[in-house]
Structure 1
Amino acid sequence: MADTPATAPEQSGGLQKVLDWIERTGNKLPDPAMIFFFSLVIVWLLSWLLSGMSFEEIDPRTGEAIVVNNQLTGDALATFLAGMVKTFTGFAPLGVVLVAMLGVGVAEHSGFINTGIKRVLDRTPQFLLTPIVILVAIVSHTATDAGYVLVIPLAGVIYYAMGRHPLAGITAAFAGVSGGFSANFVPSAIDPLLQSFTQSAAQIVDPAIQVNPLNNYFFTSASSVLVILVGWYLNDKIIEPRLAKVKVDGDPEDIPKFADVTAKEKRALFWALVAMGLGVVALVAAVWPESSALRAPNGEIASFSAPLMHSIVPLIFLLFIIPGIVYGYLAGTFENSRDVIGAMSKAMDGMSYYIVMAFFCALFISAFNTSNIGALLAVKGADTLREWALPASVTVVGMILLTAFVNLFVGSASAKWALIGPILVPMLMQLGLSPDLTQAAYRIGDSSSNIITPLMPYFPLVVVYAQRYVKGTGIGTLISIMLPYSLVLLVLWTAFLLIYWSFGLPLGIQASYVYPAP
């Protein structure tokens, strides 16, 4: 293959050394589950070392000086062992993710989501192909990994069928699925997942604080427009022209063919969407009366005390499992109730690793909170930032950059937020910045660098997709193509948050920019 801009990074010494260093360093890190275990041990040791010291910092929860509690005493270890099961089963993100995934899993394994994506892309005019691909990729987050296993390879197939470069389709979809991971018009499991970690971290400072699962919904919805426009421009004006000289040299038998949606699948999709629409109508009808049981006692819908706000995850479950079942029976992928339960089981199979990680994460967060080390770090960090007297916007930008850097080595969004959230959220609360704003900033940093880290679990899979068309595609090739997306998204998305903030636009439901909330 000729030396083209798309393959030059494979031979470029400086960039290749940086990429090699990132890959080597990341590969030396333990598994995220083990990182939480080691963090737990470190918390124990630090609690023992710091328990005999006196601190002047005032605990905002008690109004008294912070005292670090030794977690290695006999009583503390006995309490730890006695409460281990309860600590794990009571870990808020665990139930949130598993319940949502039961419904989404049925919709995915029935074929409902896959057929819906195919229909959207199949009916798209060529000049709108890129923005629609990115839009579908963003919405695919609702089905967790469906974007990686369906949208990305399918985009390559469609671009190739339309006479465009297949790598342009693959990378545009990758930018939407992974680079725009925190942008979505549709509430998904990632919203309550991050919210649960944010709330746990915020309660280190304020045990009574509640964070709404949709506390970033308005911002992430608006961000979807930004990601689509940025991706559209970069793909059609910069990336695809650079790929023009890259020869498609894959073996013809290995290049996937576009499979048309059958008439049976179209009919099943139609009635499944009708079922989903009726579900939404039924929900609106149930909430509409001022005396609705889903409203708060004072009649508000978005109040923390409203049952509706506590039902976000069950609603996600219902709004996906119902059309999934309808589609499955009409399309023939489900023949009886055993098939529905089988789809749920398959969804849980994919969550086995998360459950293991959640076990160690729950123990770490519990020890971190009980020891008071989290409160001490938060107050000390806040005091240091106050002394620096940095503008709040600069602090938020610094947090975004920190998250983007950490993301190069810890690919899991939940694992990363569970690690740094208990430090950043309380610390910024001490500076008067709300957990809602901190979480929004985290989501920008996390999404922007997803597409340039080889340690992201699906990164090698995207390389394989690309190699079907261009045999010489490697990790360096893919990173070189995705780097413009990553850098531009990081800069423009950060600026977008600052502008959004300056206008005081709402971040989400029951969200604020300041703490305590007005």
Structure 2
Amino acid sequence: MANNSEQLTSRPEPVSFVQRCLNSIEHVGNKLPDPAMIFLFAMILIWVLSWVFSGTQFDAIDPRTGQSIVVHNLLSGAALADFLASMVKTFTGFAPLGVVLVAMLGVGVAEHSGFINAGLKLMLKRTPQALLTPSVVLIAIVSHTATDAGYVLVIPLAGVIYFAMGRHPLAGIAAAFAGVSGGFSANFIPSGIDPLLQSFTQSAAQIIDPEIAINPLNNWFFTSASSLFIVLLGWYITDKIIEPRLQAVKIDGDKENLPVFAEITQKERNAFYVSSAVMLLGLALLYFAASSPDSPLRAPNGQLSDFKAPLMQSIVPLIFLLFWVPGIVFGFLVGTFKSSKDMVQAMSKSMSGMAYYIVMAFFCALFIAAFAKSNLGALLAIEGAQVLKSLSLPSTVTIVGIILLTAFVNLFVGSSSAKWALLGPIFVPMLMQLGISPDLTQAAYRIGDSSSNIVTPLMPYFPLVVVYCQKYVKDTGIGTLIALMLPYSIAFLVGWTVLLLGYWMLGIPLGLQSSYVYP
């Protein structure tokens, strides 16, 4: 069970062409400034570009307003005054910051009490080495059901599990990141993202056909099949490309922060079972509270998976409680917690490890707010869609073009719903006039939206994954993570596109009440 990091660093560095390319990308990428400074420089660039284009008249129509799109000058006196006045609110209102910190408070108690460590010891005895990677990718995919839980739970735990098994922890982090973010649109369990995207698709389709109705699960069969595809592809890339390349990467993280795995004692085993029973009891109570048709945890329409449902909005607090309470129980049972002060110190220690992410989140929040206010992201998306429309390509080529354009726009505009709100009203009616259904157009969008998530430093959770990596390899930078994730991104983009075209060719239903043609 004990880790032998020296064994991970004693093998010769790979020399294949692919590995040399990835090494070059890592080298160049790590020459970039610190991620916090990249966000700062990007914000300044957005300011300058907003000033340059603010006086330009564009023909592109903003589908959100129905009027010509306008770039707002962020260097005007009023804009700068608003920037200063809203800086604190912009930072504290940055959604990923609250998600990460609240969840980590609970996870920190579970970690420092020994609860997570004990669970991993028991799990590692029952998990075959050969099935570790596909298990991690599958769990990462399923974590989408709980919104952003995968970023704060699955990814760091994957690194711990790989480290415990004597494998390189960065390989585990990469596999989980690929499943959580790169496989964002692959899930056999319906989640809130399905009705969210469907609502935009239906509104866009009604521009052409006011009576059309789109089923919220119109892509469910395809996303379910995509789960198996992403698991298999992620498994192969992790074990055959990523992990061999990491054999030459030394684990040099702070020893006191690296997990230590000794044999589990009977006292720890009993405490883990009791703590787990407490967690299961909490889940059972949650189930009964939500199962009633008139439960206050449901949305006004009676759905639990709707984004408006209090249950969906409570995912992060629930993660906090489901780790905090069992962690406290375990800590007092085994003696790692003697008083409430020990519990508070565990929470404080977990926050001290997030200091670097908080700094990056500050600049990231300011950049994203500036990008949204300037309207440059909307302009980029709309102009790109108009160019694709003007090319009048064959249907199959147009579908591929939509996937590629979405993947490109995703490098700058991270929110899935925000991009579809811009692109949907252009793509959906355009393809309906070519005889292509809204269901197929939405499926194409979801592929592009997922595939490039894992290689853009502008994605809000990207800096957090860098922090996870630095726990094991101190000099991990942007280039390191991009080089790790690029094989997944390219393989997902190409393979997933082929899978969709194959689905289309064979006429396999995309989902409930779906079609490939319109009308």
TM-score range, shorter chain: 0.5 to 0.7
Q: Closer, same or farther in 2 for the Cα pair 1:449/1:495, shift >3 Å? A: farther
Superposed displacement of residue 394, structure 1: 1.0
**Secondary structure in 1 matching 2:67:** coil
After superposition, the Cα gap between the structure-2 partners of 1:83 and 1:487, relative to the gap in structure 1 and judged at 3 Å, is closer
Matched residues in 2 for 1:423 and 1:394: separation?
17
1:54/1:372 Cα in 2 relative to 1: closer, same or farther (>3 Å)? same
Equivalence map 1:62-461=2 (5 Å)? 62-124=65-127, 128-132=128-132, 134-136=134-136, 139=139, 141=150, 143=153, 146-147=156-157, 149-156=159-166, 173=172, 176-182=175-181, 225-226=228-229, 228-230=231-233, 259-389=262-392, 391=395, 393-395=399-401, 397-398=403-404, 418=414, 426-427=422-423, 430-432=426-428, 438=445, 441-446=448-453
* TM superposition shift of 1:293: 1.3
> Structure 1 residue 28: deviation in Å?
2.0
| C-alpha deviation, 1:177, in angstroms | 3.6
Contact residue 131 and residue 231 of structure 1 kept, 8 A: no
Q: Shift of residue 325 of structure 1?
A: 1.8
| 1:382 aligned partner, one-letter code | A
State the distance in 2 between where 1:293 and 1:420 align: 28
Deviation at 1:48, TM superposition (A): 1.4
CA distance in 2, matches of 1:345, 1:153: 24
Identity %: 45
Q: Which amino acid aligns with 1:109?
A: H
219-228 vs 141-150, greater mean Cα deviation: 219-228
Cα distance in 2 between the residues matched to 1:99 and 1:440: 30
Contact kept in structure 1, 2:64 and 2:422, CA below 8 Å: no
Q: CA deviation at 1:267?
A: 0.8
The CA deviation string for residues 225-253 of structure 1, in whole angstroms up to 9 with x for no partner, is 545545667889x79xx99xx9xxxxxxx
User: Deviations 1:240-271 (Å, cap 9, x if unpaired)?
Assistant: xx99xx9xxxxxxx9x9963211111111111
Per-residue deviation at 1:174?
5.9
Name the CA distance, whole Å, in 2 between partners of 1:217 and 1:323: 35
Following the alignment from structure 1 to structure 2, what is the Cα–Cα distance between the partners of residues 87 and 45? 20
SS in 2 for 1:28: coil
Matched residue, 1:9? 14
CA shift for structure 1 position 59? 2.1
TM-score (norm 2): 0.67
Number of equivalent positions? 434
**Residue 58 of structure 2 is aligned to residue 55 of structure 1:** yes
Q: Which ranges in structure 2 are unaligned for 5 or more consecutive residues?
A: 1-10, 141-149, 205-217, 248-254, 429-437
Q: What displacement does 1:300 show?
A: 2.8
Which whole-Å CA distance do the structure 2 matches of 1:143 and 1:99 have between them? 12
Any conservation in 2 of the 1:449–1:486 contact (CA below 8 Å)?
A: no
In the alignment, does 2:510 pair up with 1:504?
yes
**Amino acid in the other structure paired with 1:151:** I
Deviation at 1:499, TM superposition (A): 6.7
Question: In the TM superposition, what is the alpha-carbon distance from 1:220 to its structure 2 partner?
Answer: 8.1
CA-based RMSD: 5.0
Separation in structure 1 between the aligned mates of residue 334 and residue 299 of structure 2, nearest angstrom: 41
Q: Deviations over 1:81-133 (max 9, x none)?
A: 11111121122222222222222222222222222122112134xxx431146
User: Does the CA contact (< 8 Å) of 2:357 and 2:467 recur in 1?
Assistant: no
**Superimposed CA distance per residue, residues 367-386 of structure 1 (whole angstroms, 9 cap, x where no aligned partner):** 22222222222221111121
Secondary structure of 2:363's counterpart equals helix
The amino acid of 2:77's aligned partner reads G
Give the 3 Å change call, closer, same or farther, for CA 219–277 of structure 1 in structure 2.
Answer: farther
Answer yes or no: is 1:40 the counterpart of 2:39.
Answer: no
Cα distance in 2, alignment partners of residues 59 and 51 from structure 1 = 15
Could you tell me which runs of 5 or more consecutive residues in structure 1 were left unpaired when the two chains were aligned: 1-5, 157-165, 207-214, 247-253, 407-415, 465-474, 507-511
CA-CA distance at 1:51 after TM superposition: 1.7
Q: CA deviation at 1:74?
A: 1.5
User: How far apart, in 1, do the equivalents of 2:227 and 2:164 lie?
Assistant: 21
Shift of 1:430: 3.7
- Is residue 22 from structure 1 mapped to residue 25 from structure 2 by the alignment? yes
* Aligned residue identity for 2:129: L
Q: With the length of structure 1 as denominator, give the TM-score of the two structures.
A: 0.67
- Once the 2 structures are TM-superposed, how far is the Cα of residue 145 of structure 1 from its aligned partner? 5.3
Instruction: Confirm or deny: 8 A CA contact 1:444 1:494 kept in the other structure.
Output: no
